[in-house]
Chain A
Amino acid sequence: QKEVEQDPGPLSVPEGAIVSLNCTYSNSAFQYFMWYRQYSRKGPELLMYTYSSGNKEDGRFTAQVDKSSKYISLFIRDSQPSDSATYLCAMTRINTNAGKSTFGDGTTLTVKP
């Protein structure tokens, strides 16, 4: 069983829709949670990161962490065609293997105009 499982997709939504992207994890040692966006043939780009349970908002993006359920989500409001990409969740243990992140397999999102 993988340490990080991500909803596989692909996901196709109309422009303006609210998108929910989700990951679960099995290792309670994960303390730092990140979301990356990856356009085709490009490297991943860090979107958001959070340490604590709860919500963190940045513009149209909200990252949600529920450590008790080992579940994280990324919500995209008012989705745009430019949001079409693969979204990767990633997690890191603090103080050991510092910075080494474990990634989900990614969810490919298409936002149709």
Chain B
Amino acid sequence: GAGVSQSPSNKVTEKGKDVELRCDPISGHTALYWYRQSLGQGLEFLIYFQGNSAPDKSGLPSDRFSAERTGGSVSTLTIQRTQQEDSAVYLCASSLAAASQLYEQYFGPGTRLTVT
């Protein structure tokens, strides 16, 4: 079946502009995660959704970052007034909600964001 999809695959934006990144999880996966990966680095957790609610937003780096999820499916990560340090690959993952399967996260290909 279809995996996790993300759009756009690449985004170049000017400093100060807002961007929206989209994630479409695997059908039936109720848990959804956003991570950020800077060049040569591991993944940095941003936010976790269970259904449409976000029990853990602890990784959002500033109030310029926000995310929402509607219909228990598609999620959008919004970055306002982008800064150069926001340049990174933004990865989305999803998993089934069952306890033993929450840790089996399936990742999308990522959105490569470049802020000039």
Give the B-binding residues of A (Cβ under 8 A).
4, 6, 32, 34, 36, 41-46, 49, 88, 90, 92, 97-106
Contact = CB atoms under 8 A, between A and B. Distances in A.
A43 B91 contact: yes
Contacts, number: 69
Contact of B103 (A41, A43, A88, A92): A92
Interface string B22-66: 000000000101010000111111001010000110110000000
Given A42-B109, A43-B91, A46-B104, A100 B33 contact: yes
B23 to A, nearest CB: 11
Interface of B: 4, 31, 33, 35, 40-45, 48, 50, 55-56, 58-59, 91, 93, 95, 99, 102-110, 112
B106 A97 contact: no
